[in-house]
Structure formats: structure tokens, C-alpha cells
Amino acid sequence: FSADFNAAFYHQCRADVVITKASGAEGGYQEKVQPCLDAGIPCIVIARPTPLVTGDELLESQAAFAQRLSRWLAAAKE
């Protein structure tokens, strides 16, 4: 949706706060946030979570998966 559409929607709904996710340009993030800034409406942005495991990893067996999962769970507790 366009910024103008969102501004009209916020006005029609009498929004006193907007909650959105950090969806990037493809998700219309700027078009959601800019009308809030223009109208003085607080905007809460939910950030994308940081991945706990990065990169690609090929596990050749169920045992290798279980071992990797154990290491991942131990690291997540730290």
C-alpha cells in the first residue's frame, strides 16, 4: 500500500499507535512508517531475529544431526 493509503487508513481508524515489522522495501516499510512520522503517531517496529545458525551445513546422518543439534542447543543457552 502507498504512504497516502496508510495515512488515510491510520486517520480513519484513529490509530494512536502503529505496530509493524521491519519488512524492508519489498514489504512497504517506509510507506508504513512515514505516515506515522508525519502524523506524530508512535510506531513500534519489530526487528527481524538474528539467526542463531549461519551458513549452509550438510549433515550426512541422523547421528551427525543429533550431535549438531546438541551443540546448537548448548550454545543457545549461553
pLDDT value for 58: 75
Output the pLDDT for position 50: 75
- What's the mean pLDDT when you consider all of the chain? 90
What would the pLDDT profile of 13-51 be if each residue is shown by its tens digit? Answer: 999 999 999 988 888 999 999 999 999 999 999 998 876
Q: How many domains does the chain have?
A: 1
CA distance 18 to 22: 12
The CA-atom distances, in angstroms, between 1 and each of 4, 24, 29, 57, 65 are 8, 14, 10, 38, 43
> Which cell goes with 10?
491510520
- The predicted structure's pLDDT at residue 52: 67
Range list of β-strands (E), the chain: 18-21, 43-46
pTM for this predicted structure: 0.61
> What's the confidence (pLDDT) of residue 57?
73
Domain containing 30 equals 3-77
